[in-house]
């Protein structure tokens, strides 16, 4: 009149996927009238269970029978708490003894230390590429554990790089097979560098999966250092030119060497000898390929500034401004201007010949001429009138000219000397 029962001991075990066995015993709680079979049920993907047929007879019912367990190293990250996961072994009972047939038997709780970690592995953390021919590279991507659901890895980057393919799919069958991502540098016309140093860009990986261990998993960013084949600069052509104070002008061209990221202003800064039109040029990403002519004209002053015969020098400097850091730091060559001067330092006399009479009628012994300078002086100029023994200078024999009166005639009066000879 005893009710049938099954006892297991212990009721909980711990295993490690790295290896090692654990055991538990099964025994009946009372003598059966007929043979009793106890069958363990478990997830074979997680456990390897070894045991002889668990058959209890009226003779051996009280002798414990042992079941040996080993965790399957399944390469799947199943950790619920970041370290372990839990599985169960249930038991069914069958017998011709009605007291034992189909009775409930205890379950065994098995806690397994997982040695797998969900992750996305990159074959490298960085690439170094060059813009232009040969600007290609690649890296490989794989998973670190077998996923329970397909895993999609989306590869994204900025406009400087092109990645192919843009998405990878890993399954339980190909998770540990590396998949290649090709990286190409876009050969654009921008200078992305900072002072010629490589510019660095990021390739980001986004993970989506029905496997919670992989969904939204963080992945390392891959950096790509790019050596640019564009350099921000301002060209000036030619760097020397010739103009004249009589009106002959000249032109030179101003251009950019790369597409700017923002409008770039180039200011022409002439010295006091020349003028420029235009004085300001604005280059944009739309018009940067078109050089702009700058016209140079000499200032027609009244000074003789020649340092070589009839020529003197002028200069046009340049300044760059704008929000593009590469261009804001750019230096621009000067334009040297050779100026043909139309002024010649000299003394201009109103007459080169005078007639006087010795002791002549009133006034005939006097004559005069006026003098001016041919060009404005940079400092006061004194002209001294020196007469020979035949004439004398009436009044002051020194004429003083400066920048304010250089072209105002100054009178010189001469008197003939009555020498009785």
The H or E element that residue 328 is part of is helix 325-328
Beta carbons of 155 and 168 less than 8 angstroms apart: yes
CA–CA separation, 364 and 68 (whole Å)? 152
CA–CA separation, 58 and 303 (whole Å)? 136
In the prediction, which pLDDT does 29 show? Answer: 96
Q: Scanning the structure block, which residue is given the tokens 């300044």?
A: 319
**What's the sign of the alpha-carbon dihedral 117, 120, 122, 123?**
positive
- CA count, 13 A, side-chain hemisphere, 64: 11
Residue whose C-alpha is closest to residue 296's, from 261, 248, 255, 341: 248
Determine whether domain 234-340 maps to CATH 2.60.40.10.
yes
CA–CA separation, 71 and 78 (whole Å)? 13
Query: For the chain, what are the domain ranges?
Result: 6-113, 120-227, 234-340, 347-416
E strand intervals along 262-334: 264-270, 274-277, 280-283, 292-298, 311-322
Beta carbons of 22 and 108 less than 8 angstroms apart: no
CA–CA separation, 348 and 352 (whole Å)? 10
Q: What is the assigned CATH class of domain 6-113?
A: mainly beta
Which strands, in side-by-side order, build the sheet including 347-349? 347-349, 366-373, 410-416, 391-394
DSSP letter, residue 2: P
Residue 326, classed as helix, strand or coil, is helix
> What is the chain's Cα-based Rg?
52
In the prediction, which pLDDT does 1 show? Answer: 46
| φ/ψ (deg, to 5) at 151 | -115, 125
At a CB cut-off of 8 Å and minimum separation 6, what does 9 contact?
Answer: 24, 25, 27, 64
Residue whose C-alpha is closest to residue 350's, from 399, 280, 420: 399
CA–CA separation, 114 and 329 (whole Å)? 57
How confident is the prediction along the chain (421 residues), in pLDDT tens digits per residue?
467 899 999 999 999 999 999 999 999 999 999 999 999 999 999 999 999 999 999 999 999 999 999 999 999 999 877 899 999 999 999 999 999 999 999 999 999 999 999 999 999 999 999 999 888 999 999 999 999 999 999 999 999 999 999 999 999 999 999 999 999 999 999 998 867 789 999 999 999 999 999 999 999 999 999 999 999 999 999 999 999 988 899 999 999 999 999 999 999 999 999 999 999 999 999 999 999 999 999 998 877 777 667 688 899 999 999 999 889 889 999 999 999 987 778 899 989 898 888 876 666 778 889 999 988 888 999 999 998 888 889 988 899 999 899 999 999 998 888 777 6
CA 126 to chain centre: 16
At a CB cut-off of 8 Å and minimum separation 6, what does 306 contact?
Answer: 312, 341, 344
Distances (CA, A) of 81 to 77, 86, 99, 113, 209: 11, 10, 41, 10, 19
CA–CA separation, 222 and 216 (whole Å)? 17
CATH level 3 topology of 120-227:
Immunoglobulin-like (2.60.40)
Beta carbons of 316 and 274 less than 8 angstroms apart: yes
β-pair partners for 318: 268
Is there a common fold for 6-113 and 120-227? yes
Structure tokens at 329: 């730091």
In the prediction, which pLDDT does 2 show? Answer: 61
In the prediction, which pLDDT does 126 show? Answer: 98
Residue whose C-alpha is closest to residue 69's, from 28, 116, 8, 144: 8
Strands 240-244 and 335-340: parallel
β-pair partners for 268: 318
């Amino acid at each position: 009149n005893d009710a049938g029962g099954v006892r297991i001991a212990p009721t909980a075990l711990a295993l490690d996927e790295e290896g090692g066995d654990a055991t538990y015993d099964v025994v009946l709680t009372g003598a059966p009238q007929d043979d009793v079979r106890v069958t363990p049920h478990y997830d074979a993907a997680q456990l390897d269970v070894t045991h002889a047929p668990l058959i209890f007879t009226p003779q051996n019912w009280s002798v414990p029978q042992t079941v040996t367990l080993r965790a399957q190293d399944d390469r799947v990250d199943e950790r619920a708490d970041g370290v372990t996961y839990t599985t169960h072994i249930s038991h069914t009972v069958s017998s011709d003894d009605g007291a034992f047939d189909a009775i409930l038997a205890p379950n065994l709780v098995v806690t397994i230390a997982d040695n797998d970690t969900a992750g996305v592995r990159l074959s490298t953390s960085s690439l170094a590429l060059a813009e232009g021919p040969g600007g290609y590279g690649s890296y490989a991507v794989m998973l670190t554990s077998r996923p329970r659901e397909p895993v999609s890895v989306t590869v994204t980057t900025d406009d400087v790089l092109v990645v192919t393919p843009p998405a990878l799919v890993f399954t339980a069958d190909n998770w540990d097979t590396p998949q290649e991502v090709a990286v190409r540098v876009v050969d654009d016309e921008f200078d992305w560098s900072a002072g010629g140093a490589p510019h660095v860009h990021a390739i980001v990986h986004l993970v989506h999966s029905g496997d919670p261990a992989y969904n939204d998993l963080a992945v390392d960013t891959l950096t790509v250092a790019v050596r640019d084949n564009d350099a921000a600069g301002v060209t000036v052509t030619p760097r020397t030119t010739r103009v004249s104070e009589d009106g002959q002008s000249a032109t030179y061209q101003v251009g950019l060497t790369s597409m700017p990221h923002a409008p770039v202003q180039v200011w022409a800064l002439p010295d006091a000898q020349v003028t420029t039109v235009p004085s300001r040029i604005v280059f944009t990403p739309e018009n940067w390929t078109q050089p702009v002519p700058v016209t140079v004209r000499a200032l027609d002053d009244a000074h003789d500034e020649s340092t070589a015969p009839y020529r003197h020098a002028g200069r046009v400097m340049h300044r760059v401004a704008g929000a593009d850091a590469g261009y804001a730091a750019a230096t621009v060559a000067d334009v040297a201007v050779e100026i043909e001067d139309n002024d010649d330092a000299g003394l201009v006399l109103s007459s080169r010949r005078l007639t006087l009479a010795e002791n002549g009628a009133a006034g005939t012994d006097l004559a005069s001429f006026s003098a001016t300078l041919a060009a404005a002086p940079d400092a006061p100029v004194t002209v001294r009138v020196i007469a020979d023994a035949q004439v004398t200078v009436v009044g002051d024999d020194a004429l003083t000219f400066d920048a304010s009166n250089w072209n105002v005639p100054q009178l010189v009066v001469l008197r003939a000397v009555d020498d009785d000879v």
